[in-house]
Amino acid sequence: MTTTTPAKGATSGALVPEVTFTIDDVEVSVPKGTLVIRAAEQIGIQIPRFCDHPLLKPAGACRQCLVEVATPDREGNLRAMPKPQASCTLEATPGMVVKTQRTSAVADKAQHGVMELLLINHPLDCPTCDKGGECPLQNQAMSNGRGTSRFVDVKRTYPKPLAISTAILLDRERCILCQRCTRFSNEIAGDQFIDLQLRGARQQIGTFDPAVLGFDGAGTASLFAGADGDGQPLTRAGGMPERDVLSGPAGPAETDTSGRPFASYFSGNTVQICPVGALTGASYRFRSRPFDLSSTPVIAEHDANGSAIRVDHRRGTVMRRLAGDDPVVNEEWITDKDRFAFTWQSAPDRLTTPLVRGEDGELREASWAEALTVAAEGLTTALDGSGVGVLPGGRLTLEDAYAYSKLARVALRTNDIDHRARPHSAEEESFLGHAVAGHGIDVTFADLERASGVLLVGYEPEDEGGVVFLRLRKGTLAGRTRVFSVAPFASRGLERLGATLLSAAPGTEPEVLDAITGRADGDLGAAAEALSGGLVLVGERLATVPGGLSAALRLAQRIGARLAWVPRRVGERAGIEAGTMPALLPGGRPVTDNAARVDLAAAWGVERLPATRGRDLSGILSAAAGGGLDALVVGGLDPADLPDPDLALRALDAAFVVSLEVRASAVTERADVVLPVAPPAEKPGTYLTWEGRPRPFPQALTSTALADQRVLHALAGRLGVDLGLGTLAATHAELDQLGGWDGARTPAPHAVYPEPPAPGAGQAVLATWHLLLDAGRCQDGEAFLAGTAPRPVARVGAELAARLGVTDGDQVTVSTEHGAITLPAVVTAMPDGVVWIPVNSPGSAVRPTLRVDAGAVVQVAAARPATDGDDA
């Protein structure tokens, strides 16, 4: 018996048959199913269009792309279609003859006619419109429109602009009703926060605003009045629509922090695909003209997806960011966080010069030479003492992470390095060494939409992934992919994926994973079947569940699924590959593997590398707080994100701290030497996506700021070590030469899971994760975006709600001995005895306040109704 395996690169499946036809007398062959408008693009013929978008379903609404078409009948005689056809909805057929505006007077007149109709009600405000200069309507009116208008009557006008959310504004009179925005919301994001309303000439895009719809007794429409000079939206006194901010009803119909119905995490995409200036971003409105902007294609820094974006800047200031077009990663869509959250990089607390703590205990500005010298002296002292720990943080490029890794091993002679600025575990470390480090690209974005089944464990693809969610949704809408999620409740994101919830209280995830077998009944059995040959996506949160990652590995092996680890932060995968972990060296080399160490020592030209596994982040902080480590080198991290923020602050207080930071932070306050480093816009580098895909990006802004890598190179020099990483080119050359590791990997973890916690009376098990838009430092300074974040709530099951005597909107207090968080309750279908609150949203800073994480038992109570003068 023989089996044949298709050769690598061979095309599997049947080839799509080709269709040959002519456009403007040019013969063209395209795959069957290709739309005429796309085929025309391929031969360089531009047919004007508005509603057409390659990633949206054809609509045929604007009628701008009309062409003349003839098709052969059964006898092969060419028969002209009686009417011009919309080329954006027409599939090419064999022998079809298409005449565009270039060769057909009929098509040309039809296009001019439609253009004239589009313009009769369009305002002539191009000189002040954000879109002017990059406007498809403006451009195509010039190329395919009449020079003068015959329209002498009354144009349609509306009060403007309508506030769709705090971030998105709508000028209805500019809208040409192509429905790209509503189709995006419906087909891609699944957030129908805007839709068509009314009909005919009064048809308009809008939210369900009773005033716009003319309901009796409705108040005035939600009009936006503008923003202050510093970008803050004007207050309601200045004209912002009257809304309750952080009060008023909460319930399953989610509201955002501005009190409006929650819109979408992807709403900014509608601004970008709007072919006119109808939808604009509040933060960019009237700020600049497109032709004054310089554009740099870069990679977004907000999550491990590494979305392609374009930074538009003017005279050294970033004015806006747009989605790039990258079919392998984010297609043409990005999250609002990637689009709007960039002001953190130029915030007022930005560090620009090195700082050194003086004799008086205050930080003072210092020269690079002095600061590096002071830092080196402090580190040298520590090396002679109990040593130095390194905490690079999770937002680094591969080059920066590699520099931290090499600095620790070569200059600081330690494996006490851990970039995981979040809850973590030894089990996770083994898992990452075994299943992630050095694996290259395995599961990809494209796989997400092709897999038969995708299981999510400890991972919310919308809140913790953004564009991963869009890919999954694409697969589920196409009927290819079925999504399952092991989670305490079906989030709004899961509902829009049509996901099957495999309900699990925090801590019970391993049990549920072990129960997914082909023999199981119901959803568990269905999951086993769909996941055979499918994907298991585990999130970084699974590290908080003892036995969780071990069970995920077992499951993937048992049912034949591929496994991918999808962290939140952009620097996680780079850190793993660069070896910024206590038991991992670059390329997945285990610290404890002699051959791996020898290999690396040879490459680095050092005699030996520290052989014992180092301490992880919690171990490093404990040691530093207790005198077991004398110094810390700390990269960009926020102590509030760490598992025990209080311990972190104590450690930072105790140790000699060298801080490499973009902006002043809680670390800065406690640092002995502060070395300012460049934000992403001011340095080149390479992010690694969760897939392991390198995402190199150039420097967008001219800057004297230094990347971490160059600062570390200089610091090492003061310690008498040449890191050899003074330039990006040198770093790349070294990384290339180093290559991967083909030796043994870290063994798989086999952690057992303990009995899940049993909450007593007045207690519940805490479930918690990050919302995409929250109180994170990288969203600072962007008030318009912040207004669109979902309002923080506490989710409780019906039984718990009944015991507490609360219903939707009542205040619930979640507390530990360290502190309390009070949020409005939303009764949600979830296991009894579980309470969910967001990790780091306004009013809900779980780790600093409660000092616990998911799976902990916390106190839950109905909040005492606040009374006037009550300052509790």
Partner 1 sequence: MTTLTPILSKHWDADRSWSMATYQANGGYTALRTALGTDPADLITQIKDSGLRGRGGAGFPTGMKWGFLPAPDGGPRYLVVNADESEPGTCKDIPLMMATPHQLVEGVIITAYAIGCHHAFIYLRGEVVHVYRRLLQAVQEAYDAGLLGSDVGGSGFQLDVTVHAGAGAYICGEETALLDSLEGRRGQPRLKPPFPAVEGLYARPTVVNNVESIASVPQIVGRGADWFKEMGTERSTGFGLFSLSGHVQHPGQYEAPLGITLRELLEMAGGIREGHELKFWTPGGSSTPLFTAEHLDVPLDYESVAKAGSMLGTRALQIFDDSVCVVRAITRWAEFYKHESCGKCTPCREGTSWLVQVLQRIESGRGSAEDLDTLLDVCDNILGRAFCALGDGATSTITSGITQFRAEFEAHLNGAGCPFDPAAATLFDSRRVTDAAGTVGA
Nearer to partner 1, 197 or 296 (CB): 197
Stretch that binds partner 1, among 191-199, 238-246, 408-416, 462-470 (CB under 8 A): 191-199
Total residues contacting partner 1 (rule CB under 8 A)? 36
Nearer to partner 1, 118 or 412 (CB): 118
Q: In whole angstroms, how close is the CB of 538 to partner 1 at the nearest point?
A: 36
Stretch that binds partner 1, among 145-153, 288-296, 428-436, 774-782 (CB under 8 A): 145-153
Nearer to partner 1, 84 or 787 (CB): 84
Q: In whole angstroms, how close is the CB of 66 to partner 1 at the nearest point?
A: 6
Stretch that binds partner 1, among 63-71, 133-141, 393-401, 764-772 (CB under 8 A): 63-71
Q: What are the distances in angstroms from CA 744 to CA 414, 437, 438, 594, 599?
A: 22, 12, 11, 11, 13
Nearer to partner 1, 116 or 187 (CB): 116
The amino acid present at 465, given as its one-letter code, is G
176 part of the interface to partner 1, by CB under 8 A: yes
Nearer to partner 1, 96 or 372 (CB): 96
Sole residue written with tokens 């047919």: 47
Calpha distance 358→356 (Å, rounded): 6
154 part of the interface to partner 1, by CB under 8 A: yes
Per CB under 8 A, the list member of 22, 46, 58, 492 interacting with partner 1 is: 58
Q: In whole angstroms, how close is the CB of 151 to partner 1 at the nearest point?
A: 7
Per CB under 8 A, the list member of 65, 114, 660, 766 interacting with partner 1 is: 114
47 part of the interface to partner 1, by CB under 8 A: no
Long-range contacts of 182-187 (CB under 8 A, 24+ apart): 183/53, 183/56, 183/57, 183/59, 184/53, 184/56, 184/266, 184/269, 184/270, 184/273, 185/264, 185/267, 185/270, 187/56, 187/57, 187/477
Pair 198, 175: CB distance under 8 Å:
no
For residues 404 to 443, the per-residue mask of contacts with partner 1, x marking binding by CB under 8 A and - elsewhere, is ----------------------------------------
591 part of the interface to partner 1, by CB under 8 A: no
Helix (H) or strand (E) holding 676: strand 673-676
Residue-wise DSSP of 504-518: --TT-HHHHHHH--T
- Nearest-CA neighbor of 697 among 355, 326, 389? 326
19 part of the interface to partner 1, by CB under 8 A: no
Residue-wise DSSP of 174-234: G-----HHHHIIIIII-----EEES-GGG-EEE---TTTTT-TT-----B---B-TTSPBP
Question: Cis bond leading into 161, ω under 30°?
Answer: yes
Calpha distance 308→316 (Å, rounded): 21
Where do runs of H (alpha helix) occur along 491-611?
A: 492-496, 509-515, 522-531, 548-559, 572-578, 594-604
Nearer to partner 1, 64 or 397 (CB): 64
Pair 726, 713: CB distance under 8 Å:
yes
Ramachandran angles phi, psi of 65, nearest 5°? -100, 30
Q: What single DSSP character describes residue 663?
A: B
Nearer to partner 1, 7 or 154 (CB): 154
Q: In whole angstroms, how close is the CB of 50 to partner 1 at the nearest point?
A: 9
Apex CA 109: angle with CA 104 and CA 111, to 5°?
100
Pair 617, 421: CB distance under 8 Å:
yes
Q: In whole angstroms, how close is the CB of 59 to partner 1 at the nearest point?
A: 7
Q: In whole angstroms, how close is the CB of 207 to partner 1 at the nearest point?
A: 15
Per CB under 8 A, the list member of 200, 214, 605, 869 interacting with partner 1 is: 200
For residues 674 to 713, the per-residue mask of contacts with partner 1, x marking binding by CB under 8 A and - elsewhere, is ----------------------------------------
Stretch that binds partner 1, among 33-41, 62-70, 237-245, 705-713 (CB under 8 A): 62-70
586 part of the interface to partner 1, by CB under 8 A: no
The amino acid present at 560, given as its one-letter code, is G
Per CB under 8 A, the list member of 93, 203, 296, 452 interacting with partner 1 is: 203
Q: In whole angstroms, how close is the CB of 736 to partner 1 at the nearest point?
A: 51
Nearer to partner 1, 51 or 652 (CB): 51
Calpha distance 611→299 (Å, rounded): 36
Nearer to partner 1, 66 or 700 (CB): 66
Burial of 780 (0-12, 13-18, 19+ CB in 10 A): middle
Calpha distance 732→397 (Å, rounded): 12
Ramachandran angles phi, psi of 181, nearest 5°? -65, -45
Pair 472, 445: CB distance under 8 Å:
no
- Nearest-CA neighbor of 638 among 678, 675, 669? 669
Nearer to partner 1, 210 or 533 (CB): 210
Calpha distance 406→392 (Å, rounded): 12
Stretch that binds partner 1, among 199-207, 335-343, 709-717, 768-776 (CB under 8 A): 199-207
Per CB under 8 A, the list member of 23, 59, 505, 556 interacting with partner 1 is: 59
Burial of 642 (0-12, 13-18, 19+ CB in 10 A): buried
Per CB under 8 A, the list member of 38, 63, 174, 420 interacting with partner 1 is: 63
Q: In whole angstroms, how close is the CB of 155 to partner 1 at the nearest point?
A: 10
Stretch that binds partner 1, among 69-77, 196-204, 280-288, 620-628 (CB under 8 A): 196-204
- Nearest-CA neighbor of 810 among 820, 789, 796? 796
**What region does 504 belong to: left with phi over 0, alpha with psi -120 to 50, or beta?**
beta
84 part of the interface to partner 1, by CB under 8 A: yes
64 part of the interface to partner 1, by CB under 8 A: yes
Calpha distance 49→821 (Å, rounded): 52
Stretch that binds partner 1, among 34-42, 149-157, 266-274, 586-594 (CB under 8 A): 149-157
Q: In whole angstroms, how close is the CB of 197 to partner 1 at the nearest point?
A: 9
Per CB under 8 A, the list member of 16, 105, 120, 328 interacting with partner 1 is: 120
Per CB under 8 A, the list member of 163, 177, 512, 771 interacting with partner 1 is: 177
Per CB under 8 A, the list member of 79, 83, 480, 750 interacting with partner 1 is: 83
Calpha distance 777→622 (Å, rounded): 25
Per CB under 8 A, the list member of 16, 43, 196, 598 interacting with partner 1 is: 196
150 part of the interface to partner 1, by CB under 8 A: yes
Nearer to partner 1, 176 or 538 (CB): 176
Per CB under 8 A, the list member of 43, 78, 198, 829 interacting with partner 1 is: 198
Q: In whole angstroms, how close is the CB of 79 to partner 1 at the nearest point?
A: 16
Q: In whole angstroms, how close is the CB of 94 to partner 1 at the nearest point?
A: 17
Per CB under 8 A, the list member of 82, 214, 229, 479 interacting with partner 1 is: 82
Distance of CA 196 to the CA centre of its chain: 28
Per CB under 8 A, the list member of 56, 117, 126, 223 interacting with partner 1 is: 117
Per CB under 8 A, the list member of 27, 75, 153, 384 interacting with partner 1 is: 153
Maximum alpha-carbon separation in the chain: 97
201 part of the interface to partner 1, by CB under 8 A: yes
**Spatial CB neighbours of 623, under 8 Å, sequence gap ≥ 6:** 386, 389, 416, 615, 629, 651
151 part of the interface to partner 1, by CB under 8 A: yes
Summarize as ranges the residues that interact with partner 1 (CB under 8 A).
Answer: 58-64, 66, 82-84, 89, 109-110, 113-114, 116-118, 120-121, 150-151, 153-154, 156, 176-177, 195-196, 198-203
